[in-house]
Structure formats: structure tokens, C-alpha cells
Structure 1
Amino acid sequence: MDLTAIRDRATTTYRTRRDQAVDLVERTPVLGRLVSEFVRIEFIDRCMLIAAQGLLALIPMLVVLTAFLPHLSGDAVHTFSHAAGVGGDGTKLIEGQVSSDQVRTQTGIIGLLITIFSATSFARAVQRMYERIWEVPHVGGISGARRCLLWLLGWLMTLQLAGALRRIADGLGGLLGDGAAFVVQVVLLTIIWWATSWVLLFGRVAWSRLLLGAVLTGAIGVSYNRGSSWLMPPYVHANAEQFGTLGVILAISTWLIGFAAVLVGSALVGRIVSEDPTVTRVVGSAWRAVGRAAPRRAG
């Protein structure tokens, strides 16, 4: 066996495939810009930061809110657990480690307020992600903290609404019910993240430019959540058996990284595609064609 010849062939093949990939990127403007923008925003770092803030700030807030306000926040926790695929095993394991009475006793009202305010770090991570993607200056200070806090509270309310809609959809059943539930969830999630991007960007980017990213977030996000409800429970169960509570936390962190990738990727692709000249020209032509056809139908 001639190892030198094998190594030379492998090197030649690698260089050929690399040159082909570079040529494809250069000949496809959207693809080339996507690659450069993913590098510019530091895609992996953004995903890890959002996931870390979700694990360290958002989840403790949900646990504390459930202890203090079970009727107001229970649906939010169940919605998150269902989306992450934690399942009954993971939920029981966590509940077995800490009780609501214990949380209320050890936290107190001051601790509750501090926990909620600390959870705004998750909102700030999402805010910085949108600002990095759209290349606008960061808004911090009291104004930024207040906006992040208000968004966080609104987001919790929408989780409550999503939980109620999920119960209604589960009651419908059947293929038609599943299809209707999917469409409703996509529309709801699109509206949530459309409003989220506009609010956290302080209205510095037009609604129309944010729409495609929100639609992608809604469609991919719902698909990701539904896939997680099938794939995550066995993974959580295996981790719980092997590592206990730590295993559940590791599983949730894995889900959060994937969820963050959906947020960051959808927002970035939405901007790049919506700003592409070819896409803009095609969409403009379609709108003009619709505008010309409408008067003829009315006549």
C-alpha cells in the first residue's frame, strides 16, 4: 500500500471540493453573504450565550414564579416543559428535589423580585443578538433594562396563552385538528417574535423588514418544538437515570442551544434574504401584479 499516493489523492480531493465550495459561494450572492454574516455575528457564540442565559436566569425564574403564582405561571412552565420535551420523568425528578413551600420560604418577596429582574439577562442576550444582526447600536442603561423587563413579562403572558391553545388543540385531535393546531401555533409564534424583534430593537428597524425572520422563527420554531416532544423525552429519561437531576439540566441545556440556533439563524436568514436585490425585485413584481389584478376583478 502506497501511503504517499493515498495521502496525495486525499489532499487533491480535499482541495478540489474546497475550491468547488468557494466557487459556489462566490457565484451565489445570497449564500456568500450568509456565510460571511454567520461569521460576523459569531453565530455559535450567540447561540451559546442565549442558551446559557436561558438556563441560568430564565428557568430559575419559572421555578420561583410557579412557587409564588402557580395559577398565573403554571401554564408557562408546562408550555416550556412540553416544548423542551422534559416529560413526566424529568418534571417529577426536579419537583422531588424542591417543593413550592421550600422555594417560597427560602426566596421571599425580595428574592422573587430579584429573580425576575435577573431573568432580564435572557432578554438582554436576545436584544444584543438582534442588534448585532441588524447592525444597530446597543441600547442599555435604565431604558434598555426597562424595555427588556416589559418584554419578559409579556413573553411570559404569551406562554400562558400558548398553553391554553395547546390544551384546546389536544382536545380536537385527528389530522385536521393537528393541522389547524400547527397553523395556529405558527401564526402565534410569528406574531410573538415579530413583536419581540421590533420591541427589543426599539423600533429602529421597520416592521416589514422584520417579517420574514419572524415567519421563519415561527415555522421552524414550531417544527422544532414538535420534534422535541418526540425526541427529547427518551433522551431526558436516559440522562436522568444516569446522572439524576444533573442529567435533566444537561438535556434542557441541549434543547436551549438548539432553540437559540433557531432564533439566531431565522433572524439572520430573514434579513439577508429580504435584502437580496433579486428577492426584492421578485416580491415587488408580484405585489404589482396583484395590484393590477385587483381592480380588474373588482370591475
Structure 2
Amino acid sequence: MLDTVPPVRKVVAELVRVEFIDRSMVVAAQGLLALVPLVVVLAAFLPQEVTALGIDRFESVTGVGEASADLVTDQVAGTAAGLDASAVRTQTGLLGLALTLLSASSFARAVQRMYERVWGRSHVGGFRGRRLCLGWLLGWLLAMQGLSVVGWLDDRVGGVALDPFWLVLRAALATVLWWWTLHLLLFGRVPWRPLLVPALVTGAAVVAYAAGSTVVMPRYATSSAQQFGTFGLVLAVATWLVGFAGVLVVSAVVGRVLVEDAWVRRTFRWVG
């Protein structure tokens, strides 16, 4: 296949060039270390209804909600009861919130560096880069809440006949989100049009990954929690994040190859 289908050979070469495994691990690690504290703090400062949908959706996708039900009840219910939102607000304060947001921008910087590496662009750092990455992160979290609303509507209104509609709708919204993400994190150095195909690939892959996770992850998270306790839940989330980061890297590489490879262009012209 590598000898007869040039795009496949190019995808493999690009995955080696961008150091696929290293990039996936860096994005996943930054997500675990930065986003989890950020979600805890924001959940304390924002209205409960704003964060409940997103957290419920994340729990269902990663399987943590089902796996941790008995564990939380038996082991940490008393501690959790004493740590309410007002306590988190008091202990955190505005300075702590600002530091949490700045540290969470490291996840955005990791995603930015990954896209810059895939598209062969120099790194944009400094205050300008951090400010734009932080803005993307906040917008991305809000967009995730919008996708959570779609999932909530699917659970309330959905039926077997409507499943394809909700799947296409989530894929379309995810495509728009990652199209904006690519253009913003590349600092406008790549025009909108070449980024559409990578955004389509990423949106479809992320939705497919989330759908598959709802089937696979609950069993894995439950088994991990029974074997390792609370650490097992952290391991399940970390595993899911590594897979999610891998989907982002592979989708970005495949999307760029589809846009730029001459063999793919000739094939589409011939089909057309």
C-alpha cells in the first residue's frame, strides 16, 4: 500500500516527522494537568446549570461517572460534601482563578505547537501567543458546552430514527469548531479554505471517537476503578485523553495530506 498509494506513504512520513506519539502524549498530559483544575474552579464560580451538562457529558464519554458512583459514595462522599462551591471560591480567590486560567493555557499552547508542527509554521510565543491561546481555550470550552446541549437534546428527544440526524449535527458543529480552532491557533497564516478539509476530518473523527468511547470506556473505567480505586479513575481519564490527542494529531496530518497531495487532487478531478 505504501508503494502504490502515495497519500498513505506521505501520511506515514508526516506522522514520523511530527513525532506523532510524543505530540499526543504532550497534549494529553497538558490536558490532564491543566483542564481538570480549570473545570473544578470554573464549576465553583459559574452557575451550576452552566457546567452540569458539560460535566455529565464528559463523565458519560469517559465512563468515569458510571465507574465512580459506588467509589465516591463509599470512599470520598464525606470529603466531597465538605468541599462545596462556596468553599472552593473562598480558598481560590481571584488571584487563584487567574493563575488557574494561565496554567490552563498550557494545554492550548500544546495544541498550538502541534498544529504549527503539522503545518510547518514557526512558533508564535510571547504575550501575544499566550493571550490568543487563552482566548481560544475559553471559546473552546463554551463550544463544548454547546455540543453538550446537543447531546442532552439527543438523550431527551432522540430516537432510533433521529440518531443519524443528531450524529450529522454534532459532526457539523464539531467541524465548525475545529475550523475556527485551526485558523486561530495558526494565527491566520493558513487561509480558511485549505483548513476546511482538516476541519472536516477532525470533526468527524472526534465525534466518532466520542461515540465509540461511550461504548468502550464505561467498562474499562469500571474495571480500572475496581482494581486501583481513585487512581484507576485518573488512569481512565488519562487513557481517554491520550486517545483524544492522537485523534487530533492524525486528523491534522491526514487533512493536510488530502489538501496538498497532487495524487489526491488528480483523483478527485478524475472522479468529478
1:162-201: per-residue Cα shift (whole Å, max 9, x none)?
A: 1211111112222222111101110011111111010000
Greater displacement, 134-143 / 90-99 = 90-99
From 263, 280, 293, give the equivalent of 2:265: 280
Q: How does 1:33-72 map onto structure 2 within 5 Å?
A: 33-69=10-46, 70-72=48-50
> What SS does structure 1 have at the residue aligned with 2:190?
coil
Match of residue 59 from structure 2: 81
Letter aligned with residue 84 of structure 1: T
Is the 1:66–1:77 contact (alpha carbons within 8 Å) kept by the matching residues of 2? no
| Aligned counterpart, 2:213 | 228
Unaligned runs of 5+ in 2: none
Contact 1:79 1:162 in 2 (8 A): no
Distance 1:62 1:183, change over 3 A: same
> 1:187-233 CA distances to partner (integer Å, 9 max, x unpaired)?
01111111101000011112121111111111111111011111111
Higher RCO structure (Cα 8 Å, ≥6 apart): 2
Equivalent residue number for residue 152 of structure 1: 137
2:225 aligned partner: 240
> Structure 1: any 5+ residue segments left out of the alignment?
1-23, 290-299
Residue 157 of structure 2, aligned match among 151, 172, 197: 172
Q: Deviations over 1:230-280 (max 9, x none)?
A: 111121112222222111000000000100011000010000121111222
Shift of 1:285: 6.0
Distance 2:200 2:13 in 1: 23
2:176 maps to amino acid: I
Alpha-carbon distance between aligned partners in 2 of 1:207 and 1:129, rounded to the nearest angstrom: 18
In the other structure, the counterpart of 1:250 is 235
Deviation (angstroms), 1:92? 7.0
d(CA) in 1 for partners of 2:71, 2:169: 32
Give the greater-gyration-radius structure (CA): 1
TM-score where L is the length of structure 2: 0.90
Shift of 1:89: 3.5
Percent of matched pairs sharing the same residue: 48
Alignment-mate amino acid for residue 100 of structure 1: D
TM-score, structure 1 as length reference: 0.83
Q: CA RMSD in A?
A: 1.9
Counterpart position of 1:119: 104
In structure 1, the residue corresponding to 2:189 is in which secondary structure? coil
Matched residue, 2:248: 263
Q: 1:14-25 alignment to 2 at 5 Å?
A: 24-25=1-2
Q: Is the 8 A contact 1:53 1:125 kept in 2?
A: yes
Whether the aligned pair in 1 keeps the contact of 2:114 and 2:249 (CA below 8 Å) is: yes
- Residues in 1 aligned to 2:228 and 2:62: alpha-carbon distance in whole angstroms: 18
What's the counterpart of residue 198 of structure 1?
183
8 A Cα contact 2:53 2:152, kept in partner: no
Aligned pairs, how many?
Answer: 264
CA shift at 1:29, angstroms? 1.7
Contact 2:133 2:185 in 1 (8 A): yes
What does 1:90-109 align with in structure 2 at a 5 Å threshold?
90=68, 93=71, 96=77, 97-98=79-80, 99-101=83-85, 102-109=87-94
Residue 77 of structure 1 aligns with an amino acid whose one-letter code is I
2:225, 2:105 → 1: CA distance?
29
